[in-house]
Structure 1
Amino acid sequence: MRVTTSLIYDKGIGAIQDQQSKLLQLQQQVATGRKAVTPADDPISTARALEVSGSKKLNEQFQTNQGYAKDALGLVENKLDGVKNLITYIREQAVAAGNATYSQSERDSVATDLRSRFDALLAIANSQDGTGEYVFSGFKGDTQPFSGSLAGVTYNGDQGERTLQVSASRILPVSNSGDEVFMKVPGSSNSLFGVISSLITDLENPAANMPNAVSTALTDLDSSLDNVLRVQASIGSRVNEVEALETISADLDTQYAQTISRLEDVDYAEAISDLTLEQTFLQAAQQSFLRVANLSLFNFLN
């Protein structure tokens, strides 16, 4: 093969350009902190990083939903604590009023007190969350679930349970309908409101058979309390599930972040070392080219 001056020049320039290209890529990596400055630099790692980033964003949405779920369940649990306390208080008053030594005026005082407790219970049943949705109306969040008075209370919601997707495979109920909590007393045809209303009516009626009235009220109140405790236990179980999922999601988030970093982030120590080395190679190529370029036939003849 004939080696011409033109060939020497072309090869020398080509070697310098190759070194400059490598140096530029390393400079861009150090400047951006990324291994692949463009997808074309490493298509496989770029595609994998995009896939993992998508999984990370989905996991972050699940984490957001888990927070919403805990808030919603915590609110329901708080309201049910209020219901439980009211039932316990009303039960205590019923026991006291059933005492044969109580006068009618004392029973009237208890009845007056229980009227205010009835109103407090109705207020809890019509509670709203921070967004203005009614807690116990089922799917009908914008509908006040309960209306009425001592004469009778009507449930205007439905039996639906609101849900949130808290993981890829779990859609969690985050509410309980007011029908389940307030309108259904196991073993009785009465609602919780009806039980309290009947007790108040009996207390205000001098002719009422007080022992029987109190006994019936206590049975129904105990059933109502058991029902509330059952719902609370269900909520507690769901809260525990969410907390377990929060731990799993936090671990996943860390794993995703580490994987993305491994695929995308440049190792600065290695990159700077390579940059210094490539600068040396470029300088050597430039100096070598200059020396060879000066070794032409005319220079020799001179």
Structure 2
Amino acid sequence: MRISTSMIFDAGRNAIQRQSSEMLHTQQQIATGRKILTPSDDPIAAARALEVTQSQRANEQFQTNIGYAKDALATLDSDLGSIGDILTYIRTRAVEAGNATYTPSEHQAMATDIEAQFHALLAIANSKDATGEFRFAGYQSTDAAFSGGAPVPPAGPAAVLYDGDAGARSIQVSASRTMPVGEPGSRVFMVDAGGNSEMFGAISDFITELRRPAGDPSRNIPTAVSTAIGRMDASLDNVLTIRASVGSRMVELDALEELSGAHGEQYAQTLSRLQDVDYAEAISRLSKQQTILEAAQQSYVRVTGLSLFDYLR
């Protein structure tokens, strides 16, 4: 095979360009800290890194959702606690009302006090969350959960109706778990098929009985007290049951948060193994490539400088 001068030049130039390209690639790896700069560097590792990255991002979203869920459940638990406090207070007042020494005027004053608690309870029932949605309206969260309850002197407040639905809003907190973070008002405030709230109805009925005048033949405070205590106990038991469920969900979220954190660490370690450059190896390789490039450059200069005239004297 005949080797021409141009072939010698081309071979030398190609060697220099190849070594320069390889050295530049190594420099970019060191600068970015990534050994895979393009999928062609390692197609299998690049594909695996993409899968892990997608899983990592999904896990990060689940961690964010867990935070939202914990906040929502903490607020719900606080509201349930306030509802329980109001019911306990009304029950205590009902026990006091059973005292035979209480006069009709004292019962009237007690009715006014309990009516204030009624409206405080209604305010909680129609409270909004941080996004401006009605917390206890189920999926119908753009409208108030309850209507009615206006004062009707001299009796108790008007009937309270539930205008929401039975839906419980939820958030996906893991690939296999969707966590309910709300409770519909129909469950918390015990709404019957007609939409009437048992809890508010019980309080309103008690207020009405306390306000009956002394000469009213239907006035029967002992019976009203006994009925009110029984209905408050039923409402309290219901609220406590729901609150226990909320507490269980919060414990579950703590466990899911810990597990999600462990998964996040595993994903980070896997990505590091797949993508991160070994600086010691890369620097050693860069030094070797630089030496080879310098040798190629020197060789090219010497070869291209050869001439028949150099040997003539």
TM, length-normalised to structure 2: 0.88
**Does the CA-based 8 Å contact 1:5-1:296 persist in structure 2?**
no
Measure how far apart 1:135 and its partner are. Answer: 0.5
CA deviations over 1:199-228 (Å, ceiling 9, x no partner): 111112234222221111111111110000
Match in the other structure for 2:209: 202
Q: Indicate yes or no: 2:184 matched with 1:177.
A: yes
Residue by residue over 1:139-162, the C-alpha shift from the partner in whole angstroms, topping out at 9 and shown as x without a partner, is 000110111121211110111111
**Could you tell me whether the CA contact under 8 Å between 2:86 and 2:121 is conserved in 1?**
yes
1:132 aligns with 2:132: yes
Q: SS state of the match for residue 183, structure 1?
A: coil
Conserved 8 A contact 2:162-2:197: no
Matched, 1:13 2:20: no
1:97 is matched with which residue? 97
Matches within 5 A, 1:184-263: 184=191, 191-205=198-212, 206=214, 207=216, 208-263=219-274
1:34 equivalenced with 2:34 (yes/no)? yes
Residue 242 of structure 1, CA deviation: 1.4
TM-aligned CA deviation for residue 296 of structure 1: 5.1
State the match for 1:158 in structure 2.
165
**Cα-Cα RMSD:** 2.1
1:282 maps to 293
Shift of 1:294: 4.9
Which stretches in structure 1 are left out of the alignment for 5+ residues?
none
1:53 Cα deviation from its structure 2 partner: 1.3
- Residue of structure 2 equivalent to 1:108: 108
Q: Structure 2: how far apart are the matches of 1:126 and 1:5?
A: 92
Residue 10 of structure 1: CA displacement?
4.4
Return 5+ residue gaps in structure 2 as ranges. Answer: 150-156
SS of the residue corresponding to residue 60 of structure 1 reads helix
Aligned length: 299
What residue is the counterpart of 2:68 in the other structure? 68
- Whether the 8 Å contact between 1:183 and 1:193 is mirrored in structure 2 is no
CA offsets per residue over residues 234-282 of structure 1, 9 Å max, x none? 1111111112111111221222222222222223333222212211121
Instruction: Name the CA distance, whole Å, in 1 between partners of 2:225 and 2:53.
Output: 64
Tell me if the contact between 1:144 and 1:156 (Cα under 8 Å) persists in the aligned partners: yes
Q: Distance in 2 between matches of 1:223 and 1:266?
A: 65
TM-score normalised by L of structure 1? 0.91
Question: Which 10-residue stretch deviates more, 150-159 or 45-54?
Answer: 45-54
252-261 vs 76-85, greater mean Cα deviation: 252-261
Comparing 2-11 with 258-267, greater Cα deviation is found at 2-11
Q: Structure 1 residues 4, 298: CA separation in 2 closer, same or farther (over 3 Å shift)?
A: farther
